Every structure is written in structure tokens, then in C-alpha cells.
Amino acid sequence: MFTTSFWKQAAERAIKSAAQGLIGMWTLDGFNVLTVDVKLAAGIAGGAAVLSLLSSIVTSGVGEPNSPSAVRKDPAPIQG
């Protein structure tokens, strides 16, 4: 979590989450560029980005080292 790579990946995820939040809002609200509530849009995008960053921090010790992902590239085989 204390590497540049981690924060670059976490920032990318946060930006994608912010964009997804905006797309969801505009889809549900019926997007009209002349009547966009900028404060609401910024709040939704910012909230999605913060939640994404928090999620990345929480999962930092779960997946690959120095990665915000909870998924390992080469998972250990399941013993049955």
C-alpha cells in the first residue's frame, strides 16, 4: 500500500468509479447538458471515488502485494 504503483492503480480505479457514478446518474435522470446539476454530479462522482479508494486500502493486504486488487494472479490450488 505504500508504493507508487499501488496509488496509481487505486487512482485509476477511483477515476473509473467516478465516471461510472456519473453515467449511472445521467442514465437514471435523463441527461440534458443544459440542466445538469453540477453540485449533485460532483457529489456523486466524488463519493464514488472516495468509496473506491477506501475499498482499495481495505483490500491492500488481501491480493497481490502492492496492488489494490483483492484477486491474486496465481491463486493457490484449493485443497479438497
Q: How far is CA 8 from the centre of its chain?
A: 12
How far apart, in whole angstroms, are the C-alpha atoms of residue 10 and residue 52? 8
How far apart, in whole angstroms, are the C-alpha atoms of residue 49 and residue 18? 5
* pLDDT tens-digit series, residues 30-62: 777 778 888 988 999 999 999 999 999 998 888
For residue 15, give the C-alpha cell. Answer: 477515476
State the alpha helices, DSSP H only, in 32-77: 38-58
pLDDT at residue 79 greater than cutoff 80: no
**pTM of the full predicted structure?**
0.77
> How confident is the model at residue 72, as a pLDDT?
78
Picking from 10, 4, 2, 8, the residue whose alpha carbon sits closest to that of residue 56 is 10
* pLDDT tens-digit series, residues 15-30: 999 999 998 888 886 7
At 75, the pLDDT band (50, 70, 90 cuts) reads: low
